[in-house]
Chain A
Amino acid sequence: MSGFEQTIRGWAVDPAVGREGAAEVVVRDGTLARLTWLEGAEADGISATGTLILPGLMDIHAHFREPGNEDAETVATGLAAAAHGGFTTVALMPNTTPAIDEPSVVARIRAAAAASGSPVRTLIYGSVTAGRRGETLSAMGELADAGVVGFSDDGASVRSASLLRNALMYAGSLGLPIVDHPEDSSLTEGAEAHEGLIASVLGLKGWPSAAEAGSIARSIAILEDVVRDVPGARLHLTHVSTTEGLEAVFAGLGKGLPVTSDVTPHHLAFTDEWIAGARRWSWDVPRGADAQTIDPWVSGGIVAPPFDPSLRVNPPLRSPDDASACWVHLAMGTAVAIATDHAPHTEVDKHVEFGWAINGISGIETALSVVLAGVAAGQLPLMKAVAALTTGPAFVLGDRAGIAPGLREGEPADLVVVDAGATWTVSAASLRSKGKNTPLLGRELPGVVRLVLAGGRVAYAEG
């Protein structure tokens, strides 16, 4: 990097200080040497619809499949995909094979990240339970010593209430959060699609909202019990997708409990209508007092064949009203983060009958574009959206993660330059991830990432 100097002009957004506006950033030898907020004539022609300069994005929910399923993704391809998506920090879920339930697996992933040469920071979760089997606690203390940033059995909830209680206490005393996947599996056995009009018409087994809301209410009740003894206990609920689930989180926050949550780009932008063959964004679904207007067969929304297995995901794509609730609760702070739940899969696992397709959407490279599309449509102010991709996720992981996104002079440059006014077309070739399992293939999206600097090094540069 020696002798390297670059000057970037654009609309800078820094949620760390709550400021956005026309700015000039100078990066010298990997350091953010100068940030100048431009005034008057100097700011002419610079707007939030053109070049954006954002702190490096942070994804607290990604699956890179290594070890165990390197056909779907490796740490190296996952990090390349993250950088292409504007992310300079990723936190990896422990549902690998073997699961990340003891320190040697952590070391192995660290080694793979180092070998990749990527400057994107790799954070790692340990599993809550040994082998993610939901029976006994993982080697939590040793995992904490090895530097994990939290514990999760993602893919399933910690089913036993008593084990969750112990996990919250034990992790809390280590200063680490439990990241729970809220799902009451007794309500979702064999479930295929959000319970509602679409599942009913298509003959897909319904996945009720109550499975999520019930699980969240239970976990929060346990948290309330635990914090009396262990004030450091913290619960994060990931990929909350329903109105009822978000309201349950909101109720927990109202009691002043240490609970946080995130939502995903796909639950913000896609809906269960897509399974019927609709492809309009959640915010483009016509809605009114008359329930008929949200019926895609009536409102002319059907443009593709039904049952596209790339849409099979856990939690399932929800109704347009649920998607709206995700945006509203982001604005309210019920959800502090947007997390991708990047879930790459092979064609063998995904290009099969809808009900047999493995759950998950490859999303780390389209997340920023999808969020920017929502921002352009007025779903959320740009500042809030950027916060949900930077400072919000950092808040969830807390001080132990040691990440403080922001545009600060004198620190190693950690930023993303994205052209909000340009578009790109998603294709198998354009995705760095091995997982091509996204319903956005062929779709033109706003927001072209031009440059990503992570910890002062170039993680991605266009061209």
Chain B
Amino acid sequence: MSTGSDRPEGATPAPVHWAHKHLLDVDGLTRPDIELVMRTADEMHDVLARPIPKVPALRGLGVTILFYEASTRTRVSFEVAAKNLSADVVNIAAASSSVSKGESLVDTVRTVEALGADMIVMRHNVSGAPYLAAEIFGGSVLNGGDGWHAHPSQALLDLYTLRSRLPGGSLEGRKVVILGDALHSRVARSNIWTLTAMGADLWLCGPSTLLRGYDAWAAAGAAGRRFTVTSDVGAALRDADAVMALRIQKERMASGLLPSLREYAARYGLTAERLRAAKPEVIVMHPGPMNEGVEIAADVAAGPHSVVTDQVSNGVAVRMALLYLLAGTRRTEAGA
């Protein structure tokens, strides 16, 4: 944990190394960028440990949380994070609308900007939508999850959680397994970038229908980032340092990708029995919400290896760090 824990207090100088106006994806983050997020999150973690976990870093800044998709934990996490930083928070739960009905995203973003927002935290069910918002919006856009594409704050809080639990705080050479429906998962896609950037030995495991496309990615090794793709759950879990189970949605049966939830649970569910193949101190993660008894057994979810509640509390610290860093670039621009 950092010692300079009161840096976010008061006038809060702009961080010097953070150069990103928006956080739309993690693919553009360098290792030093990620380290800066982690250090800043350490400081925010210390703030959260105080009796009154509030600092004035974002006082006077308008943060609009614009969610086009149902979400509880991410939305509330961002809201708590922004309020802890004393931002003025506006929540917009836009019903998921097609272009043909209702206001377009372009018009909504212009409206939000006219109403005084300095930052938008956006969740959308179409991959890439935050890029359109960033093209229109004068302030910063923070991607709170877009389609199957990216979930930067989740990947960074996952990384933060792993670092806090792994001996030495390093991912270098650690075997991390993402287990489940990677095809439809923005969490998996963002974790590929961050975990491989930090040197992890990353494995993706699940039924082949839910891993479609990842072989091409793994073979190409986009930006030199390599990982292993397998449907063999035994090979994936063997000597794993951490396992991240992903949510299986019922729609996957209707679209013919899986025979049944029961079969999935039997073949790929993260059970105590399966977990024995991993290292004794294996870390169990889940981005939530969990289907206990499907992708993860209830006793594993609540067991000694599980860090699921840490993920939630770390989420607030990491999101405070991201809001703080983005606000810093905003101030740098204004002052320039």
A256 CB, min distance to chain B CBs, angstroms = 37
Are A353 and B213 touching (Cβ within 8 A)? no
Q: CA of A294 to CA of B220 in the docked complex: distance in angstroms?
A: 8
Task: List the A residue with the shortest CB-CB distance to B68.
Answer: A353
B75 CB, min distance to chain A CBs, angstroms = 19
Are B213 and A307 touching (Cβ within 8 A)? no
Are A196 and B221 touching (Cβ within 8 A)? no
Are A354 and B220 touching (Cβ within 8 A)? no
Task: List the B residue with the shortest CB-CB distance to A358.
Answer: B99
Of A195, A201, A307, A352, which contacts B106 at CB under 8 A?
A352
- Give the residues from 172 to 198 in chain B that come closer than 8 angstroms, CB to CB, to chain A: 186, 189
Stretch in contact with the other chain, from B1-9, B110-118, B123-131, B314-322: B123-131
Q: CA of A50 to CA of B167 in the docked complex: distance in angstroms?
A: 69
Chain A residues within 8 Å of B, Cβ to Cβ: 192, 195-197, 199-206, 291-292, 294-295, 297-298, 305-307, 309, 348-349, 351-356
Are A356 and B216 touching (Cβ within 8 A)? no
Are B127 and A192 touching (Cβ within 8 A)? yes
Q: CA of A124 to CA of B81 in the docked complex: distance in angstroms?
A: 60
Among A307, A353, A354, residue most surrounded by chain B Cβ atoms (within 10 Å): A353
| A-B complex: 6 closest residue pairs judged by Cβ atoms | A307-B128, A200-B213, A203-B149, A203-B148, A353-B126, A355-B126
Q: CA of A305 to CA of B136 in the docked complex: distance in angstroms?
A: 13
Are A196 and B213 touching (Cβ within 8 A)? yes
Q: CA of A356 to CA of B221 in the docked complex: distance in angstroms?
A: 29
B212 at the binding interface (Cβ < 8 Å): yes
With A295-B220, A298-B222, A355-B147 in contact, do A200 and B214 touch (Cβ < 8 Å)?
Answer: yes
Among A195, A203, A351, residue most surrounded by chain B Cβ atoms (within 10 Å): A203
Are B221 and A292 touching (Cβ within 8 A)? yes
**A195 to chain B: which residues have CB within 8 Å?**
212-213
18 more contacts with CB within 8 A, not counting A200-B213, A201-B217, A203-B186, are: A197-B220, A201-B27, A201-B222, A203-B147, A295-B221, A298-B224, A305-B134, A305-B135, A306-B128, A306-B131, A307-B128, A307-B131, A348-B99, A349-B99, A351-B104, A352-B106, A354-B127, A355-B126
A358 CB, min distance to chain B CBs, angstroms = 8
Task: List the A residue with the shortest CB-CB distance to B255.
Answer: A189
Among B104, B132, B134, residue most surrounded by chain A Cβ atoms (within 10 Å): B132
Are B222 and A204 touching (Cβ within 8 A)? no
Of A199, A349, A352, which contacts B213 at CB under 8 A?
A199
Q: CA of A356 to CA of B147 in the docked complex: distance in angstroms?
A: 12
B98 at the binding interface (Cβ < 8 Å): yes
Are A203 and B127 touching (Cβ within 8 A)? yes
With A203-B149, A203-B186, A298-B224 in contact, do A197 and B128 touch (Cβ < 8 Å)?
Answer: no
Of A205, A291, A352, A353, which contacts B219 at CB under 8 A?
A291
B130 CB, min distance to chain A CBs, angstroms = 9
B298 at the binding interface (Cβ < 8 Å): no
Of B106, B129, B219, B223, which contacts A351 at CB under 8 A?
B106
Q: CA of A360 to CA of B252 in the docked complex: distance in angstroms?
A: 30
Task: List the B residue with the shortest CB-CB distance to A205.
Answer: B148
Are A204 and B127 touching (Cβ within 8 A)? yes
Are B213 and A297 touching (Cβ within 8 A)? no
Q: CA of A295 to CA of B213 in the docked complex: distance in angstroms?
A: 14
**B189 to chain A: which residues have CB within 8 Å?**
201, 203
**A192 to chain B: which residues have CB within 8 Å?**
127
Q: CA of A375 to CA of B220 in the docked complex: distance in angstroms?
A: 30
Of B150, B212, B222, which contacts A203 at CB under 8 A?
B150
B265 at the binding interface (Cβ < 8 Å): no
Are B27 and A297 touching (Cβ within 8 A)? yes
11 contacts between A and B (CB under 8 A): A195-B213, A197-B217, A200-B212, A204-B149, A295-B221, A297-B27, A307-B128, A351-B132, A352-B99, A352-B105, A353-B129
**B127 to chain A: which residues have CB within 8 Å?**
192, 202-204, 307, 354-355
Are A352 and B214 touching (Cβ within 8 A)? no
A352 CB, min distance to chain B CBs, angstroms = 5
Q: CA of A203 to CA of B186 in the docked complex: distance in angstroms?
A: 7
**A204 to chain B: which residues have CB within 8 Å?**
127-128, 147-149
**A202 to chain B: which residues have CB within 8 Å?**
127-128, 149
User: Could you give, for residues 203-220 of chain B, a 1 whenever the CB lies within 8 Å of some chain A CB and a 0 otherwise?
Assistant: 000000000111011011
A389 CB, min distance to chain B CBs, angstroms = 34
A455 CB, min distance to chain B CBs, angstroms = 41
Are B222 and A355 touching (Cβ within 8 A)? no
Q: CA of A199 to CA of B214 in the docked complex: distance in angstroms?
A: 10
B208 CB, min distance to chain A CBs, angstroms = 14
Among B99, B104, B128, B150, residue most surrounded by chain A Cβ atoms (within 10 Å): B128
B103 CB, min distance to chain A CBs, angstroms = 11
Q: CA of A203 to CA of B127 in the docked complex: distance in angstroms?
A: 6
**A353 to chain B: which residues have CB within 8 Å?**
99, 105, 124, 126, 128-129, 132
**B129 to chain A: which residues have CB within 8 Å?**
307, 353-354
Task: List the A residue with the shortest CB-CB distance to B188.
Answer: A203
**B27 to chain A: which residues have CB within 8 Å?**
201, 297
Are A305 and B131 touching (Cβ within 8 A)? yes
**B221 to chain A: which residues have CB within 8 Å?**
292, 295, 298
A374 CB, min distance to chain B CBs, angstroms = 25
Are B104 and A348 touching (Cβ within 8 A)? yes
Q: CA of A351 to CA of B131 in the docked complex: distance in angstroms?
A: 12
Are A295 and B222 touching (Cβ within 8 A)? yes
Q: CA of A199 to CA of B224 in the docked complex: distance in angstroms?
A: 18
Q: CA of A197 to CA of B220 in the docked complex: distance in angstroms?
A: 8
Q: CA of A348 to CA of B103 in the docked complex: distance in angstroms?
A: 11
Task: List the A residue with the shortest CB-CB distance to B129.
Answer: A353
Are B213 and A354 touching (Cβ within 8 A)? no
With A203-B127, A297-B223, A307-B131 in contact, do A356 and B149 touch (Cβ < 8 Å)?
Answer: no
**A291 to chain B: which residues have CB within 8 Å?**
219-220
Task: List the B residue with the shortest CB-CB distance to A206.
Answer: B213
User: Could you give, for residues 68-86 of chain B, a 1 whenever the CB lies within 8 Å of some chain A CB and a 0 otherwise?
Assistant: 0000000000000000000
Task: List the A residue with the shortest CB-CB distance to B212.
Answer: A206
Are B223 and A298 touching (Cβ within 8 A)? yes
Are B126 and A298 touching (Cβ within 8 A)? no
Q: CA of A352 to CA of B135 in the docked complex: distance in angstroms?
A: 11
**A203 to chain B: which residues have CB within 8 Å?**
127, 146-150, 186, 189
B10 CB, min distance to chain A CBs, angstroms = 36
Task: List the B residue with the shortest CB-CB distance to A354.
Answer: B128
Are A200 and B216 touching (Cβ within 8 A)? yes
Task: List the B residue with the shortest CB-CB distance to A308.
Answer: B131
B99 CB, min distance to chain A CBs, angstroms = 5
Task: List the A residue with the shortest CB-CB distance to B221.
Answer: A292
User: Could you give, for residues 129-173 of chain B, a 1 whenever the CB lies within 8 Å of some chain A CB and a 0 otherwise?
Assistant: 101101100000000001111100000000000000000000000
Q: CA of A31 to CA of B51 in the docked complex: distance in angstroms?
A: 92
Task: List the A residue with the shortest CB-CB distance to B218.
Answer: A200
Of A197, A306, A307, A354, which contacts B216 at CB under 8 A?
A197
- Give the residues from 57 to 103 in chain B that come closer than 8 angstroms, CB to CB, to chain A: 98-99
**B150 to chain A: which residues have CB within 8 Å?**
203
With A202-B149, A203-B149, A349-B99 in contact, do A355 and B220 touch (Cβ < 8 Å)?
Answer: no
